Amino acid sequence: MDLPKETTSKLAKKITIWVRFLGSMNLAITLLLALSIASVVGTVLQQNQGYTDYIIKFGPFWFEAFKLMGLYDVYSSSWFLFILLCLVSSTTVCIYRTAPVMLRGMRDYRQNVQLRTLQQYPDCTKWVVQQPVGDVRNVAQSILSHHGFSARFKEEKDHQLISGMKGRGSRLGYILAHLAIVFICVGGLIDGNAILKARELMGLLEPEHRNLPANKVPAISRLGLDNMAFRGSVSVPEGSQTDALFINYKDGYLVQNLPFTIEVKDFRIEHYDSGQPKSFESDLLIHDARLAAPMTQTISVNHPLIYDGHAIYQASFADGGSELELRAWPLGVVNSKAAKLQSIVGEVAPLVVSEQQWSLEMDDFRLFNIMPSEDPAKKFNNVGPSVTFKLRSKTGEAREYFNYMLPIDRDGHLYYLSGVRESPADDFRYLYIPMDDEGGVGRFVTFLGFLNDTEKMQKLITKLKLTENVLPAKEAGQVNEAMLKLVQLFLKSGFEGVEAQLKKNVPLDDQQPVITLYIQVLQKILAAAYMDVLTAQGHDVSQGLDPGKAGFFTAATVAIGALERYGSPVYLQLDSFTHRQASGLQIAKAPGKNLVYPGCAMLIVGIFLMFYAPQKRLWVWLQKTDKGLELTLVGQSSKNKMDFSKQYQDISAQFERVLIS
């Protein structure tokens, strides 16, 4: 069924209006401005990081706002890809509309121009010469050719016209610059996860959120070899291999299969004297059925391996499953000894403490830890290995711990440091456990166990005779019971908890003397318990304590008071390790670069032609008059008119020297 002519005409007008709008300069500039702003955001805000990092940095409100705007993966966001698509469409329409005109202009010498039109140009000179028209024509053509102008001759009944043109590539530069934008944007669309987003909208793709090995990830979260473009990472331990990598996608990840297998034969890292990483590299083997033998190559930072369209970068390093031997010191358990544990970084193992079930998640092992040095001659100091792990209760609640293997010097005393935090958004709070004469934490654990032994503490408090000759036996027993509860309160919340409880129960006017008295009594009980521990360990305390043992007591009481906030039933001390490293590889496939690179080259050439090779025209109009042959020289340039005017003056002067002088 044919549409009425009126309807067809209206439809054609609407199409024409939309085509003009789509190919307009205003729309193109608006789109380019939007892309520029988005690129600034994508440069300033680090892209494709874990959502936890963004929550820590921006807080919950701004995290959700930026997430909604797609700022965590700007170059693959739907709105960015839509702008690219609009810019491609706009530029393509612009090329379609203007390229034919530009190409015709490159071949058009404008030989149909009228003299009155030429005389309106500012660069116009007129002479009357007496030479024959043929000689003048030959001279004019020679001068134009000498200055790089190609010329065309046209003879009419009343005049002859020589049209010269130079810099026709200026129009070609316009076309090249616009084609370059199309090439670059199409390359960006190819490499911008547009296909992944389309598959996700169709329900064919879903990011995985669980912590699973690559081979356990379900098919709906896996990408096959037909995926055109991707950028992901994988950590490969020494001696291991992989044929897949992980791509961060929204709040989860995807697994990308590879058409070959990468094996890390060896990983090496060099350090500065301070212990900081200096350089690292990996020896790789590429196993591919298409190869007669495995391909061997060493990669390092900024020196990737390019194979089968895939760029394999040395991006980072991590622990590759180091084997650790630890001692688990129970905290607050009476007459308990340390238990030996075997663990591997990356694994989860059950841990039973005081008949309570815990889960030990060993997250990381560091061979080096760099801290500012107190020595003016050294900026940094390596304090040795450390382990990072989580202790998770049966309810699923977990705390993260960071334990140093070697003791740390603090104000002339050595401590074993153990950091703890409830979430990655928090900073580590450190527990300082003083090192004993044996170089370990045995004395601290024994002292703590003694304080938690109700029977021993009752005997100790009775032996101290805190109320001797002051109270009757019955009331003295009540006071002793109160002192035992005071010790238990201290074990639960430290000196701060004791003061807070006293302030709560004692009238305001009596608080300060009562608090002072109770703290003094508590310190006396703690000191007596410490003396009993030293005596049991074979130390002679009859002459008092030396500064080292006295300092140990002070540090130990501070540490015991902080144990409730520490929140762990054990202190895990790293005894020995077998270090195994892993190479962090980043693998990218970006076929769009095959359009982007030529597009960039075309853009450079196009801009150069447009701005530095403008189109210039010269006309020589020859017309016979009664006074002789009238010669009119006219020049015109599309750009750089002042520079062209100087060139025109030189050409005009040359005409005058040859024909007039």
The residues facing 255 across adjacent strands are 222, 246
| 98: pLDDT strictly greater than 90 | no
| 372: pLDDT strictly greater than 60 | yes
| 475: pLDDT strictly greater than 50 | yes
Quick check: 179 and 95 in contact, CB under 8 A? yes
Average pLDDT over residues 149-165: 92
Provide the 10 A C-beta neighbour count for residue 141: 17
- Spatial separation of the C-alpha atoms in residues 159 and 136, rounded to whole Å: 13
Q: What are the structural domain ranges in the chain?
A: 13-104+174-190, 110-167+614-659, 198-320+582-590, 340-431, 446-572
Average pLDDT over residues 421-442: 91
Provide the 10 A C-beta neighbour count for residue 228: 14
pLDDT at 466: 63
pLDDT at 24: 82
95-109, 318-332, 336-350, 364-378: least confident range: 364-378
pTM: 0.69
| 469: pLDDT strictly greater than 60 | no
Per-residue pLDDT of 375-384, as tens digits, reads 677 777 788 8
| 122: pLDDT strictly greater than 80 | yes
Per-residue pLDDT of 387-420, as tens digits, reads 999 999 888 889 999 999 999 988 889 999 999 9
Helix (H) or strand (E) holding 159: none
CATH T-level assignment (fold) for domain 198-320+582-590: Tick-borne Encephalitis virus Glycoprotein; domain 1 (2.60.98)
241-245, 475-479, 500-504: least confident range: 475-479
Looking at mean pLDDT, say which of 2-6, 62-66, 123-127 comes out highest: 123-127
Quick check: 177 and 602 in contact, CB under 8 A? yes
Choose between 298 and 43: higher pLDDT.
298
Neighbour order of strands in the sheet with 616-625: 123-129, 628-637, 616-625, 160-166, 150-155
- Spatial separation of the C-alpha atoms in residues 454 and 8, rounded to whole Å: 99
- Spatial separation of the C-alpha atoms in residues 46 and 66, rounded to whole Å: 12
Average pLDDT over residues 623-642: 90
- 119 phi-psi bin (left φ>0, alpha ψ -120 to 50, beta other): alpha
Q: Is 608 helix (H, G, I), strand (E, B) or coil?
A: helix
Average pLDDT over residues 212-230: 90
pLDDT at 218: 93
Per-residue pLDDT of 538-556, as tens digits, reads 888 888 888 889 999 999 9
Average pLDDT over residues 458-482: 69
Helices then strands, counting H and E runs in the chain, come out as 16, 26
| 433: pLDDT strictly greater than 60 | yes
Under the banding of pLDDT at 50, 70 and 90, the label for residue 470 is very low
Query: Is 110-167+614-659 CATH 1.10.10.10?
Result: no
Closest by Cα among 171, 184, 152, 157 to 101:
171
- Residue 393 phi, psi dihedral angles, 5° rounding: -80, 175
Q: Is 78 helix (H, G, I), strand (E, B) or coil?
A: helix
Average pLDDT over residues 527-543: 90
Per-residue pLDDT of 579-610, as tens digits, reads 999 999 999 999 888 899 999 999 999 988 88
Across the chain, mean pLDDT equals 88
Under the banding of pLDDT at 50, 70 and 90, the label for residue 211 is confident
| 472: pLDDT strictly greater than 60 | no
pLDDT at 431: 95
Closest by Cα among 553, 518, 598 to 448:
553
Looking at mean pLDDT, say which of 66-80, 177-191, 323-337, 439-453 comes out highest: 439-453
What are the structure tokens assigned to 169, written together?
Answer: 């590539």
Average pLDDT over residues 486-497: 89
DSSP state at residue 537: T
